[in-house]
Every structure is written in structure tokens, then in C-alpha cells.
Amino acid sequence: MSERAATTERTVSPSIPRPRASRDPANILLDALAVAGFAGFAVLTVILWAHVLPFFDPPVRDAALQYRSWHDVWDLISNAANYPLIVIGVGLVAWLFWKGKRREAVLVIVTLALVTAGSEGVKQLVHRPRPPGSDTVVPGVVYSYPSGHELEAVTILGIVALLVWRSRATRAAAIGVAIAVALFCVAVAVARVAINAHWPSDVLAGLLGGIGVLALVTRLTRDDPHGRRDGDGGAGGSDPAPIVPSSPDG
């Protein structure tokens, strides 16, 4: 009887369903951020394509324009989110090639082209002029929505912060870089409105789009064994996972 019982147990046990492993909370959060970022960007795009002025645009713009006397400061911040980001993006691609990560470098180049083309495509679709009285001139960029400066700042500098987070840097240093990047992106958003280059909804769209891209990049590279910090299940201090910067405009 004991042999028969053992045989029955061996036969039946494989058919018993195993409990499904719960999803990683970090992945759920990243998915939510990506969806929220892209969805918010899409909603704003539809609203502005329909030529509906968001209710918050006039009062927020008026409040920011009260500080136009700080024009030199805002202009410095705004310029820092333009050509220097091109250098950073090119530097990241060159670094990937130098580390022998050709596939990742090609991915960066392709994504750069897609993001830049997508941003310009949305500008052409919405055809939103810059705010009244704006004397902003960006070579090759005519329309206001979305803010390329804000989109590129969040995307490229966010990826830099991600690289630092996944490096051998101390946790305090990684957190410090992330905070500095966040503060700079906020400053860019304020600066672009304060110099009358954009409506508030333009920079909001750039922020949301950048968050969506950054969350998606983080999510897609998180399961890579090189894409985690020490103690997160990966090889601490290894070269980070692929990064996806894009070139600035508008």
C-alpha cells in the first residue's frame, strides 16, 4: 500500500498548479510612470491640436513673466538645456562604442532619431505658435509645442542619473545626482516660460514625455544583469544597461 500511495503522489503532484510569483513592485511603478507620462502627453496633444487653451496656461504664464527681470539667469539655464545636451548625448554614444557596446550605441542613435523626429512631428501636427510677444528664435524650430528643451533635459539628464545610480557610486552620491537633475529640469521648465519662449502646457508636455521615455528605458533595461545596483540582484559596478538619449530642439 505504501508503494501504491507513493506512486499516486508522484503522479498527482505535477498537476497541482503552483502559485504565481507576484510582480516586482518596482516594475509596476515604472510601468505606471511610463503609461502616465505618455498618456498625459497624448491628452495635452489632442487638446492643443483642437486649439483649446488649457485653463492653467494664462495664469501660470503671467506669474512666471513677473520674474522676467531675471532674464540673464533664465537665459543661462535655458541655454544649458540646449547645445550642452547635444554634447552629452554624443558623448554617451561615443562612450558606448568605446566600451564595445555597439548594439546599445546603435540603439541610442536610432532612439535619438525617433524621439527627435517624433517631437518635430508633434510640433508640425499641433502648429502652436509661441506666446504673444515672444522674441525667441530657435534655428529650425518654428512652433512652440512641445518644449524640446524640457523633453531633452528630462530624458538625457535622467539617463545620466540612471547611469550613476547603476554605477559604483555611493547611494548618497546617486541620490544627490538624481535630486540635482530633478531641480535642473524644474528650473528649465520655469526658465522657458519666464523668457516667454513657451506656454506652461508646452513645458508640461516635455516633462511628461521625458518621464515616459525615462521610465520605459529604465523598465526595459532593469532585467539586464548589468542594469541594477549592488544588492539589487545584478553585478554591482558593471557597465550600465543601454541608455537612450535624444538631441535637443525648441
Phi and psi torsions of 129, nearest 5°: -70, 160
C-alpha distance across the termini of the chain, in Å: 81
Q: Is 234 within the bounds of a domain?
A: no
Q: Is 127 within the bounds of a domain?
A: yes
pLDDT at 53 over 80: yes
Q: Is 227 within the bounds of a domain?
A: no
Cell numbers 485653463 label which residue?
55
pLDDT (0 to 100) of residue 63: 92
pLDDT at 233 over 50: no
Which residue intervals of 81-139 are DSSP H helices? 83-98, 102-126
Q: Given pLDDT bands bounded at 50, 70 and 90, which one contains residue 9? A: very low
Q: Given pLDDT bands bounded at 50, 70 and 90, which one contains residue 3? A: low
What's the rounded Cα separation, in Å, for the pair 11 and 195?
Answer: 75
User: Lowest-pLDDT range, 159-163, 168-172, 202-206, 227-231?
Assistant: 227-231
Q: Is 8 within the bounds of a domain?
A: no
From 82, 98, 107, select the one nearest 247 (Cα to Cα).
82
Q: Given pLDDT bands bounded at 50, 70 and 90, which one contains residue 12? A: very low
pLDDT at 228 over 70: no
Most confident residue range from 71-85, 141-155, 198-212 = 198-212
Using a pLDDT cut of 90, give the percent of the chain over it: 38
What's the rounded Cα separation, in Å, for the pair 244 and 241?
Answer: 10
Q: Is 250 within the bounds of a domain?
A: no
Q: Is 12 within the bounds of a domain?
A: no
pLDDT (0 to 100) of residue 140: 61
pLDDT (0 to 100) of residue 246: 44
Q: Is 52 within the bounds of a domain?
A: yes
Q: Is 81 within the bounds of a domain?
A: yes
pLDDT (0 to 100) of residue 176: 96
Q: pTM score > 0.85 for this model?
A: no
Domains of the chain: total: 1
Cell numbers 518635430 label which residue?
120
Mean pLDDT of the chain: 80
138: which strand partners?
141
What is the widest separation between alpha-carbon atoms in the chain?
93
Q: What is the DSSP string of 18-85?
A: PPPPPPPHHHHHHHHHHHHHHHHHHHHHHHHHTTPPPTTHHHHHHHHHTTGGGHHHHHHHHHHTSHHH
45: containing domain = 25-222
